[in-house]
């Protein structure tokens, strides 16, 4: 089962992610980051940009691969995920634009009818990720139905990057980015598949608000099923799910902790236990501003000592 961390709000979640990635880059200057769009990662990117600046971290060699892209939109279209990633990640962090990619960026708006180019774009993207050495940390959001990226319910859990038809509800939801005109929303997309996502060394999924509570419950405590694509995180050796109290409200198995010390590290993959849901606030609800680090993966230079601050409290 994934490690679940319950935080106060999106800012605290963003600090956790940012500290994890900042330390990764310090130890591995050419780190490969998996990037996502949407509202959930924005605080994480903001805090990471602040740490890069405050700690003078060299990001000139960092590579990045986005989760998905629309088919048929030029890269320069303001709502293409190429443009979105550049606005929210590349520019604030000062990354080299030539080292950051989206699925199908070689298509640059090619229409669906350009079958041969479209067919090769997915496998070429997966090959590019592999050639870069694989993704070190992949940030993820989750939909209310458990979708990850454009991998909607029913998506194969073994899938690679490929072309998908957008569900009608997804197009309706995304129409707000296209002048509320569903006719402007592309009908197809090219996302990393669940199989591709699971190859990342560390998965960090963010979820906030009561509207995500059912999806979080199914992801963490339900059965692994294509009808909740995010449930595939249960199969990963190092998956961390960071949620606020509202998003965690339906979880059945939780432990509480006392306020941890500033020297503690959260566990790496081998430290995880089936019932490990960690509330990062004290039992009284107080919060002293302490920000823990996400556990380092063994292949990311992590320590092999289990965390010393986790205390099993009453199960609620």
| 147 belongs to the catalytic site | yes
**Close Cβ partners of 309 (under 8 Å, ≥ 6 residues apart):** 257, 258, 260, 261, 264
| 68 belongs to the catalytic site | yes
> How many CA atoms does the CB half-sphere of 189 hold within 13 Å?
24
**Maximum Cα interatomic distance, the chain, rounded to a whole number of Å:** 60
How many other C-beta atoms are found inside a 10 Å radius of the C-beta of residue 310? Answer: 18
> Cα angle vertex 30, ends 21, 190, to 5°?
80
Quote the radius of gyration of the chain (alpha carbons, Å): 19
| 124 belongs to the catalytic site | no
158 phi/psi in degrees, rounded to 5: -110, 10
Please tell me whether residue 292 adopts helix, strand or coil conformation: coil
What is the spatial distance between Cα 3 and Cα 185, in angstroms, rounded to a whole number?
36
35 phi/psi in degrees, rounded to 5: -115, 145
Active-site residue among 145, 214, 245, 275? 145
Active-site residue among 47, 82, 86, 147? 147
Q: Per the structure block, which two tokens stand in for 38? A: 């949407």
What is the spatial distance between Cα 67 and Cα 41, in angstroms, rounded to a whole number?
12
Active-site residue among 68, 105, 217, 279? 68
Exposure of 116 by Cβ count < 10 A (0-12 exposed, 13-18 middle, 19+ buried)?
exposed
Exposure of 98 by Cβ count < 10 A (0-12 exposed, 13-18 middle, 19+ buried)?
exposed
Active-site residue among 15, 69, 126, 152? 152
| 11 belongs to the catalytic site | no
- Contact between 287 and 257 (Cβ < 8 Å): no
Q: Which helix (H) or strand (E) holds 6?
A: strand 3-7
Q: Where in the sequence numbering do the catalytic residues fall?
A: 68, 145, 147, 152
């Amino acid at each position: 089962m994934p490690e679940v961390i319950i935080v106060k709000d999106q800012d605290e979640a963003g600090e956790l992610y940012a500290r994890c990635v900042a330390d990764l880059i310090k130890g591995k200057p050419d780190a490969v980051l998996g990037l996502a769009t949407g509202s959930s990662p924005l605080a994480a990117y903001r805090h990471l940009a602040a740490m890069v600046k405050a700690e003078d971290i060299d990001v000139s060699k960092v590579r990045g691969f986005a989760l998905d892209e629309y088919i048929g939109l030029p890269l320069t279209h303001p709502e293409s995920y190429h443009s979105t990633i550049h606005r929210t990640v590349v520019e604030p962090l000062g990354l080299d634009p030539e080292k950051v990619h989206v699925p199908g960026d070689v298509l640059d708006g090619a229409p669906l009818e350009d079958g041969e180019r479209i067919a090769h774009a997915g496998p070429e993207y997966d090959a590019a990720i592999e050639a870069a050495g694989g993704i070190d940390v992949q940030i993820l959001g989750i939909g209310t139905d458990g979708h990850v990226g454009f991998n909607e319910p029913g998506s194969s859990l073994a899938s690679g990057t490929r072309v998908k038809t957008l569900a009608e509800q997804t197009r309706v939801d995304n129409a707000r980015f296209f002048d509320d005109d569903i006719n402007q929303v592309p009908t197809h997309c090219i996302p990393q598949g669940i199989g591709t996502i699971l190859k990342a060394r560390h998965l960090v999924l963010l979820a906030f608000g009561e509207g995500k509570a059912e999806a979080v419950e199914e992801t963490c405590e339900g059965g692994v099923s294509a009808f909740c694509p995010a449930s595939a995180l249960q199969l990963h050796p190092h998956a961390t799910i960071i949620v606020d109290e509202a998003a965690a409200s339906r979880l059945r198995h939780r432990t509480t902790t006392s306020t941890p010390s500033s020297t503690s590290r959260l566990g790496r993959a081998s430290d995880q236990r089936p019932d490990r849901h960690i509330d990062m606030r004290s039992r009284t609800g107080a919060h002293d501003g302490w920000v823990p680090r996400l556990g380092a993966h063994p292949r990311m230079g992590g320590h092999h000592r289990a965390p010393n601050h986790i205390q099993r409290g009453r199960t609620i």
